[in-house]
Amino acid sequence: MKALATAYAAGLPGRDTHSLMHGLDGVQLTFMPMGDRDGAFDPEHNVILINSRVRPERQRFTLAHEISHALLLGDDDLLSDLHDAFEGDRLEQVIETLCNVGAAALLMPADLIAGMLARFGPTGRALGELARRADVSASTALYALAEHTDAPVLYAVCALTRAGTDDPDDETPAGKVLTVRVSGGAPGVKYSLRPGTPVPDDHPVAVALDTRLPIVQDSYVPFRSGRRMPAQVDAFPDRQRVLVSFRLPDRPTDRPAARGEA
């Protein structure tokens, strides 16, 4: 699926909405309210539908996802392999996963990711720049960057959340806590931070958010269990969130993470 999407992307004149549709002859793009659905591809009528009421970055990823559906349906060999290996709900789950893979390949080509890593290293800044240049969400950029990172790095997106809720857009100042929204590690990194994990007030990530200044400092990974794994922390504040990389020891000698943290 990644090769299919990469080959399609190579023939595009750009990565804007019009250019993304350039290779799908006869397929129309329509924006309309779709309730809880982000989008859909209707092969019978050759139309891609995108929810007009979701954020632009979400619309963009959804468009790439639905284009991937169209590419998948046009590849008889890949479709045949999938139907031989899976069926029912599992088949649908695998197809959705593959279309997410295709969307990432369309919006974040390997040369773009390599360029970010070459310029900024495996840092919070690289994560922020990738999200901005590809015009995707930070969580989408995180998974793509982690996949291409060779160093033992754990990435995270942290944001203020009102205590007792999961809404990062709540602007009520009272009762807000800084928590992990999403995290992911480079290949071979067995640790992760569970969503909702609080970040201590004196941690470099919290200080970066308070001061709005990037911080690079030897510190630790703040696991929910209270365990502190040594790491070099690179915290890059971006609006009301902090994009973080935790550079882990090359050869960690501590015991394995507790269940749910690996």
pLDDT tens-digit series, residues 76-107: 999 999 999 999 999 999 999 999 999 999 99
At residue 167 the predicted structure's pLDDT band, cuts being 50, 70 and 90, is low
Where are the strands (E) in 61-191, listed by range?
A: 153-162, 176-185
* pLDDT score for 176: 85
- Provide the whole-model pTM: 0.81
Q: Per the residue annotation, which of 44, 57, 66, 96 is the catalytic one?
A: 66
Between the two ends of the chain, the Cα-to-Cα distance in Å is 27
Cα–Cα distances (Å) from 221 to 83, 180, 204, 255, 257, in that order, read: 42, 11, 10, 14, 11
* pLDDT score for 241: 96
pLDDT at position 26 over 70: yes
Q: Is 219 exposed, middle or buried (0-12, 13-18, 19+ CB in 10 A)?
A: buried
pLDDT at position 262 over 50: no
At residue 174 the predicted structure's pLDDT band, cuts being 50, 70 and 90, is low
| 171 has catalytic annotation | no
Percent of residues, the chain, with pLDDT higher than 70: 91
- Give per-residue pLDDT as tens, 192-231: 999 999 999 999 999 999 999 999 999 999 999 999 999 9
pLDDT at position 256 over 80: no
228 bridge partner residues:
222
Please, what is the average pLDDT of the chain? 90
* pLDDT score for 257: 46
